[in-house]
Amino acid sequence: MKMTLRWFGSGHDSVTLEQIRQIPGVTGVITTLYNKQPGEVWNLPEILELKNEVENAGLKIEGIESVNIHDSIKTGSPEKDKYIENYIITLENLAKADIHLICYNFMPVFDWTRSSLAKKRADGSTVLSYDQDLIDKINPETIFNEINSNSNGFTMPGWEPERLSKIKELFETYKDITSEKLLENLIYFLNKIKDTCKKNNIKMAIHPDDPAWPVFGLPRIINSKENIQKLLDGVNDDFNGLTLCTGSLGSNPENDICDIIKTFGKRIYFAHIRNLIHHSKGKFDEAAHLSSDGSFDMYEIMKTLYETGFSGPVRPDHGRAIWGEVAMPGYGLYDRALGATYLNGLIEAIEKSSKK
C-alpha cells in the first residue's frame, strides 16, 4: 500500500507539500486541478505544472481526486456526449502525464453532505457530523450557505459557491431521475470512456455516496454491496473499479466493510480510511482514526485490505480539527498526519505478523 495525503493544490490548501513530505511514510499525494469546473478539459501543460510542483517537493501524484462529472452526464441530457468527449480528452492528457488513477463520484447535485462541519467533542477537538433530523429541517439552499460560511474561508470540495445560484435549476433537472436511470447514465458514461481507459491503463475508482442513503430526495446508487455489484457487473471490466471509503460506506452500519473489501478486492484501486462514531440510525460523528475512538475495527479493515493483496494508494481521510489549526474542515494537517502514522503502524504490524 502506498500512503498518501489528499492535497488540494497551492492556493487551495492550508497544508503545504513540504509539510506532507515530513509525515513519516507518506510518499505521495492525491490531488486535482481544484479550479476546474465539471466538464472542463484539463490541458496537458497545466497537468504537467502540477506534477512538476509535486515532484519537486519529493512526492509523487498517485491519483486524481476528483475529475468531476458534468451534471448533463448524470442526468443523461442531450449535451452529455459533448462533456464525455471533454472527459476523454482530460483522461488522455492525464495518461500522457503518467497519471492512471481517477477517483470520481456520481452523486446528484451534492457531493458529500454533513449537518455540521465543527461539532465540538469532549476533548475540545471538532469534527464533521451528520444528523438526519437536522438535515430534514434544512432546505438545500440553506445548507449550501451554511457549509460555505463554516468552512474557514476554504471552498469545500463539491460545494463550490458557483453551484448555489443554480441549485433550484439543478434540482429541477434531477426531478425525473430515479436510481435506475442514474445507474443507466453511469453505465452509459463508463461504456463511452472504456476504450480510452483500456488503451491508457486508466483505472476509474468511483467514490461511494456519503452518507450512504438518499439525501434531499435525490437518488444514491453507490451505497451498498448490492448496488456496487450492479455497477461492477454493469460494465464488467477491470478499468471500472471502486474507491473504498470506509467513512462513506460505513455511515450505514448495515454495510459490512470487511465483507465489501473481500467481495470486491481486486476491483478496489484506492482506499480512504477513516473512523466514525454511530449514535443512532442516521446520526454519526466523524472520529480520530484509532479503533478505540469510533465504531470501526480499523485493524480488521486494514488486515482485510492487506489480505486481498491491495497495493494501491491509501489515504487517511477526514481528520478532526485539533491543536488550534485553522484549515478546510476535515482536511487539516495535524489529525490526518496522526491518522497516516497510525495506519502505517497497523500496516507494519499486519505485514510482519503475516510473515511469521
Answer yes or no: are the C-beta atoms of 266 and 229 closer than 8 Å. no
Indicate whether 286 belongs to the interface with ligand DNO (CB under 6 A).
no
Q: Please report how the helices 298-307 and 334-355 are oriented relative to each other, as an axis angle in degrees rounded to 10.
A: 60
Residue 278 is a catalytic residue = no
157 binds ligand DNO (CB under 6 A): yes
65 binds ligand DNO (CB under 6 A): yes
CB of 277 to ligand DNO, least distance (A): 17
Select the span of 105-113, 129-137, 192-200, 229-237 touching ligand DNO (CB under 6 A): 105-113
Least distance in angstroms from the C-beta of 330 to ligand DNO: 6
Assess whether 245 carries a catalytic annotation. yes
**Of the residues 4, 31, 66, 251, which one makes contact with ligand DNO according to CB under 6 A:** 66
Work out whether 104 is an interface residue with ligand DNO (CB under 6 A).
yes
Q: Which is nearer to ligand DNO, 36 or 307 (CB)?
A: 36
317 in catalytic set: yes
158 belongs to the binding site for ligand DNO (CB under 6 A): yes
Catalytic residue among 87, 174, 331, 342: 331
Pattern of binders to ligand DNO over 190-229, x per CB under 6 A? -----------------x----------------------
Q: Which residue is nearest to ligand DNO (CB)?
A: 66
| 71 touches ligand DNO (CB under 6 A) | no
Q: Which of 71, 104, 130, 272 is catalytic?
A: 272
105 binds ligand DNO per the rule CB under 6 A = yes
Given the complex with ligand DNO, which of 59 and 329 has the nearer CB atom?
329
Binding range to ligand DNO, per CB under 6 A, among 85-93, 99-107, 225-233, 302-310: 99-107
Residue 238 annotated to the active site: no
* Distance from C-alpha of 70 to C-alpha of 320, rounded to nearest angstrom: 31
Instruction: Determine, following the binding rule CB under 6 A, whether residue 270 of this chain makes contact with ligand DNO.
Output: no
Q: Is 111 in the site for ligand DNO (CB under 6 A)?
A: yes
Residue with cell 465539471: 38
- Write out the chain in H/E/C secondary structure: CEEEEECCCCCCCCCCHHHHHCCCCCCEEEECCCCCCCCCCCCHHHHHHHHHHHHHCCCEEEEEECCCCCHHHHHCCCCHHHHHHHHHHHHHHHHHCCCCEEEECCCCCCCCCCCEEEEECCCCCEEEEEEHHHHHHCCHHHHHHHHHHCCCCCCCCCCCHHHHHHHHHHHHHCCCCCHHHHHHHHHHHHHHHHHHHHHCCCEEEECCCCCCCCECCECCCCCCHHHHHHHHHHCCCCCEEEEEEHHHHCCCCCCCHHHHHHHHHHHEEEEEECCEEEEECCEEEECCCCHHHCCCCHHHHHHHHHHCCCCCEEEECCCCECCCCCCCCCCCCHHHHHHHHHHHHHHHHHHHHHHC
Q: Which is the catalytic residue, given 70, 100, 207, 289?
A: 207
The answer to whether 251 contacts ligand DNO (rule: CB under 6 A) is no
Is residue 129 a contact point for ligand DNO (CB under 6 A)? no
Q: Which residues are catalytic?
A: 207, 245, 272, 317-318, 331
**Which residues of the shown chain bind ligand DNO in the complex (CB under 6 A)?**
65-66, 103-105, 111-112, 157-158, 207, 330
